[in-house]
Amino acid sequence: MLDADFFHRWMTATAASVEREAERLTALDSAIGDADHGINLQRGFRAVKAALEKEAPDTPGAVLVLSGRQLISTVGGASGPLYGTLLRRTGKALGTAAKVSEAELAEALRAGVDAVMALGGAAPGDKTMVDALVPAVDTLGDGFAAARAAAEEGAVATIPLQARKGRASYLGERSIGHQDPGAASSALLVACLEEAAAAAEG
Amino acid sequence: MRMLINVPETVVADGLRGLAAAHPDLTVDVENRVIVRRDAPVAGQVALVSGGGSGHEPLHGGFVGPGMLSAACPGEVFTSPVPDQMARAAAAVDSGAGVLFIVKNYTGDVLNFDMAAELAEDEGVQVAKVLVNDDVAVTDSLYTAGRRGTGATLFVEKIAGAAAAEGQPLERVESIGRQVNENSRSFGVALSACTTPAKGSPTFELPDGELELGIGIHGEPGRERRPMMTSGEIADFAVNAIVEDMPPRNPVLALVNGMGATPLLELYGFNAEVQRALRERGVAVARTLVGNYVTSLDMAGASVTLCQADEELLRLWDAPVKTPALRWGM
């Protein structure tokens, strides 16, 4: 079972991962966007970390709702509302339980990803964060390592796609050949589930 | 990178402090990043709120004042502001007559303004929205995020602002804003990429002797690259792109806009070619504005925006306006 501490670690690990990978995310964004994805997420997850340190909610759902709200209030751009909605809706779906199973997390995360697709109007294959998140949710039942691999594969699989959503879509065919930065950062978020679980065992 | 800045992290806040120092008619909340006309809320008038990423100055903060915007929310450089900013701005300027959000069609701006509208409505503020999507360089289809909002934003803000100043109700101000957007088309070219303070290097590589056609205002590359053209050839290309998309039936308002690093000498020369290109296609120009209004940091280049204007739109365009960057009649 996963408790509030697990979700706290998930968010903290994501914040650290975004710090480490900010330059790579920004470089990916400079090819087909406007070169600020890493910096924007960094600002958001720093705020998430600070808010969790200050408040430390005691249920999984509350950790994610608070984190999502921080992202909406600090990131801006498309990533703020989309990542914020992902975490808030996932947190809301988890409800007020003190502990949740991995299966319940998988179900809640699907609700979060569905909300992201509804908000951004993106479907799999549009070269967005959805291309990493949907495969991750589909394989979460097989464990965090499987979800991590699926998200990373999904992110890499955006390279040959033509963007249909977001700023990269303005480039038309010129968006082909570049990895989507949102899919790349989503893969980081999913990978940190495994990190959060490993930290508990260690 | 050589920039007149302290550190990249404070570029937006530093700019706001300087704006405040230069323009006592504005109230500038540097911490929360909201620029408000000092006499807001104005009783009986619909309030106009716009915003977007910083780096497009004077858009939007430079257009706050009587006859135009009531408030503006600048985001990080090229990043849309957050809903909290917009909701705060709406609360500060609403006189009870409602607030019109003017939103450029970029995914981030649209999502954040939608969330802000919900927050403002929770606080009892009546909100309407005009989406600006004038850029003919982008195919508007299921396969893109839709046309970008660029130069027409200035036309919408000025004309809807004049309607609000006359005391017209929210539905009317909104419909005039929509009409201006529907009647407007833009096309932009870049002669160099821009450099964001945070990244410190050009956002795309443009070799000597080449130009990008159909660029947006965020340093994103255009849809096509060609060998350098003359000012006259660029004017023909831009005017063709616009006129093919929207054959003008009325006299037009013309905006010849600099992207930030093109001198006025070049912009005026370009305007001469744009006017010639329009004349050759039988398009009558009623008013022309030349200058840096919707910029992209230090990008060199220009955009052309045309708006078909009937008598009412012309009258509202000519109405008095008093903002840092646009001022006439008062």
What CATH number is associated with residue B238? 3.30.1180.20
How does pLDDT run across B275-305, given as a tens digit for each residue? 999 999 999 999 999 999 999 999 999 999 9
B93 with B236, same domain: the answer is no
Interface predicted TM-score (ipTM) of this complex, two decimals: 0.91
The two structure tokens encoding residue A145 = 């390592």
**What pTM, to 2 d.p., does this model score?**
0.94
Sheet order of strands, B301-308 included: B224-227, B210-213, B184-190, B301-308, B252-258, B285-291
Question: For B121-144, what is the mean pLDDT?
Answer: 89
B270 with B286, same domain: the answer is yes
Instruction: Give pLDDT, residue A44.
Output: 98
Interchain pair B220, A167: CB under 8 A: yes
Domain-located, residue B62: yes
Question: For A143-150, what is the mean pLDDT?
Answer: 98
Mutate to test the interface with A, among B1, B199, B201, B204 (most CBs of A within 10 A): B199
* SS3 of residue A125 by DSSP: coil
B217 pLDDT higher than 80: yes
Domain-located, residue B137: yes
Domain-located, residue B235: yes
Chain A CB contacts of B111 under 8 Å are 78, 80-82, 119-120
B140 pLDDT higher than 80: no
Q: CA-to-CA distance for A58 and A3, rounded, in angstroms?
A: 8
Q: CA-to-CA distance for B28 and A173, rounded, in angstroms?
A: 42
Which long-range CB contacts under 8 A does A63-71 form with residues at least 24 apart?
Answer: A63/A4, A63/A7, A63/A8, A63/A11, A63/A91, A64/A7, A64/A11, A64/A88, A64/A90, A64/A91, A64/A94, A65/A91, A65/A92, A66/A91, A67/A11, A67/A91, A70/A44, A71/A44, A71/A45, A71/A47
For the domain spanning A2-201, the CATH number is 1.25.40.340
B29 with B173, same domain: the answer is yes
Domain-located, residue B323: no
Question: For A71-75, what is the mean pLDDT?
Answer: 97
B167 with B211, same domain: the answer is no
Query: Could you write out the DSSP letters of every residue in A64-120?
Result: HHHHHHHHHHHT-TTHHHHHHHHHHHHHHHHTT-SEE-HHHHHHHHHHHHHHHHHHH
Interchain pair A76, B75: CB under 8 A: yes
Q: CA-to-CA distance for B287 and B151, rounded, in angstroms?
A: 15
Chain B CB contacts of A164 under 8 Å are 142-144
Interchain pair B76, A76: CB under 8 A: yes
Asked which of B182, B201, B219 is the last residue of a domain, the reply is B182
B100 with B12, same domain: the answer is yes
- A26 in contact with B, Cβ within 8 Å: yes
Give the closest of B115, B137, B145 to A72, CB-based: B115
How does pLDDT run across B19-56, given as a tens digit for each residue? 999 999 999 999 999 999 999 999 999 999 999 999 99
Mean pLDDT of all residues in chain B? 95
Asked which of B161, B182, B203 is the last residue of a domain, the reply is B182
B168 with B211, same domain: the answer is no
Q: CA-to-CA distance for A5 and B166, rounded, in angstroms?
A: 57
Domain residue limits, chain A: 2-201
Interchain pair B81, A170: CB under 8 A: no
Phi-psi region of A35 (alpha: psi -120 to 50; beta: other; left: phi over 0): left
Give the closest of B77, B83, B107 to A167, CB-based: B107
* Catalytic residue, candidates B23, B56, B148, B185: B56
Active site residue B218: yes
DSSP 8-state secondary structure symbol assigned to residue A189: H
B20 with B76, same domain: the answer is yes
Chain A CB contacts of B196 under 8 Å are 34-36
Task: Note if the bond before B41 is cis, omega within 30 degrees.
Answer: yes
Which pLDDT band, with edges at 50, 70 and 90, does B329 fall under? very high
Instruction: Give pLDDT, residue B24.
Output: 97
How does pLDDT run across A28-68, given as a tens digit for each residue? 998 888 788 999 999 999 999 999 999 899 999 999 999 99
Q: Reduce the secondary structure of B247-310 to three states and give it as a string.
A: CCCCCEEEEEEECECCCHHHHHHHHHHHHHHHHHCCCCEEEEEEECCCCCCCECEEEEEEEECC
A202 pLDDT higher than 70: no
Q: B208: domain range?
A: 184-317
Mutate to test the interface with A, among B34, B54, B107 (most CBs of A within 10 A): B107
B173 with B221, same domain: the answer is no
How does pLDDT run across B246-263, given as a tens digit for each residue? 999 999 999 999 999 999
| CATH code for the domain in which residue B85 is found | 3.40.50.10440
- Better pLDDT: B140 or B286: B286
Active site residue B23: no
Q: CA-to-CA distance for A141 and A148, rounded, in angstroms?
A: 12
Mutate to test the interface with B, among A36, A130, A174 (most CBs of B within 10 A): A36
Sequence-ordered alpha helix ranges (H) in chain A: 4-32, 37-55, 60-74, 79-94, 102-120, 130-139, 144-156, 181-201
B246 with B279, same domain: the answer is yes
Asked which of B148, B182, B216 is the last residue of a domain, the reply is B182
Question: For B133-142, what is the mean pLDDT?
Answer: 83
Interchain pair A80, B81: CB under 8 A: no
**A122 φ/ψ angles, rounded to the nearest 5 degrees:** -100, 150
Which residue type occupies A38? G
B49 with B175, same domain: the answer is yes
Q: Are strands B321-322 and B327-328 parallel, antiparallel or unpaired?
A: antiparallel
Residue B62's H or E segment, with its range, is none
Domain-located, residue B325: no
Length of chain B: 330
Domain-located, residue B3: no
B75 with B22, same domain: the answer is yes
The two structure tokens encoding residue B66 = 């009587």
B133 with B191, same domain: the answer is no
Q: How many structural domains comprise chain B?
A: 2
Residues 6+ apart with CB under 8 A from A88: A64, A65, A68, A69, A72, A112
